[in-house]
Chains A and B, each alone.
Chain A
């Protein structure tokens, strides 16, 4: 299978981190279903043009988190994700986005008060739709 992970060339993050974050998100949100057989390490690395060392690290990390399971001789499969994890993960995605927003506002010199006002305004607009 081909996994929709894409390396962002303008990202400052290390390769393994980018791949790991995207793959984790695909699994936790259920976009890649439980039981799916992932590509072999060599296949996935050729697909993403990175080294097998990077992919092995990603698979190992996610296996340690309980998201993947490796069966000797058959390959790496997506494990079952429990509901609490899924909820926690959804929240984390939004928390990260809010942090990013905060950083961006800071970099253009927006004050907390200005940001709060802008947020309120945007939310009101959204409600009126």
Chain B
């Protein structure tokens, strides 16, 4: 029923000091997926593969169900917008509007009205050369230009770096609009928890070049719970998914489970009512995931 917009199939890519893969992942149409992981874990490489700026050593990347090993055809390329983490310097000496003209010629769905509107919303001064823009303004320009092509696939590599909090909020609203109005599928790498909370439907966790899988954000949140119960060592030993436990006082135990549904069923069976149950914050839950305690699916 759901369409796969992008697929990395058994991808291996060797970089200077790191090997990415083998990785197999899919992005479903019209969802926002956040790519998370430590610095140097391979997030940018995965995004560059999706933009076909680089080719895999093994495996293949599929766009809208097809692979294009000899280059993306114009109509596919013009449906993909990519905002890199660092901008290319070749365009530095060009004026904003000249760059926009160039992109308008290149991307068939380029929307001038949307471009102007976005520059206005982001409060980017017009007419400047790209190297005369501040880091934040340059990023705003790039995001505006990316959204102006009305992409079906939007690839953003740490889009919020250098943005002030107001521009950041505008950016999130505009990306959301792009998803809602244009039916875009979004992949963004980010370190900012608040961004993940507000935007993401799915999470992909990458660690040292390996994918720890794809999870629905709310599934991750729903699975993990911190629970306090009256001390019962026998029961505690039987509870599923325990990753952390402590005896807080003579009669009080605390534990973290990655299978709260299973744990709750067992507690109910034993007639034990938890004293308190707490949802973990997304960053805490992601840490348990990173440490290999949570499997996807």
Contacts and interface: CB of A to CB of B under 8 A. Distances in A.
A10 interface: yes
B216 A42 contact: no
A interface secondary structure, majority: helix
A81 interface: no
A53 B225 CA distance: 21
Contacts of B276: 10
Nearest to A9: B279
B218 A46 contact: no
Nearest to B282: A49
- 7 nearest CB pairs, A to B: A51-B201, A12-B277, A49-B197, A14-B222, A9-B279, A107-B273, A54-B218
Interface residues of B, number: 25
Interface string A41-84: 01101100111111000000000000000000000000000000
Nearest to B272: A107
A14 B218 CA distance: 9
B242 interface: no
Interface in B272-292: 273-274, 276-279
Interface in A64-106: 103, 106
A64 to B, nearest CB: 18
B168 interface: no
Interface in B256-278: 260, 264, 273-274, 276-278
B277 A10 contact: yes
A7 to B, nearest CB: 8
B296 to A, nearest CB: 15
12 contacts: A10-B279, A12-B277, A15-B218, A42-B176, A43-B176, A49-B197, A50-B217, A51-B200, A51-B202, A51-B217, A51-B218, A52-B31
Nearest to A50: B218
Contacts of B94: none
Nearest to A12: B277
B163 interface: no
Contacts of B31: 52
A74 to B, nearest CB: 14
Contacts of A25: none
Contacts of B217: 50-51
A12 B274 contact: yes
B277 A11 contact: yes
Nearest to B260: A12
B221 interface: yes
Contact of A103 (B176, B200, B273): B273
Nearest to B225: A12
Contacts of B15: none
A113 to B, nearest CB: 20
B134 to A, nearest CB: 28
A107 B225 CA distance: 20
A14 B220 CA distance: 11
Contacts of B199: 46
Contacts of A107: 273
Nearest to B222: A14
Interface in B57-89: none
Contacts of A9: 278-279
A81 to B, nearest CB: 28
Contacts of B277: 10-12
Interface string B165-205: 00000001000100110000000000000000111111000
B240 to A, nearest CB: 15
Nearest to B273: A107
Contact of B198 (A11, A12, A40, A49): A49
A9 B225 CA distance: 10
Nearest to B281: A9
Nearest to B276: A10
Interface in B200-254: 200-202, 216-218, 221-222, 225
A96 to B, nearest CB: 16
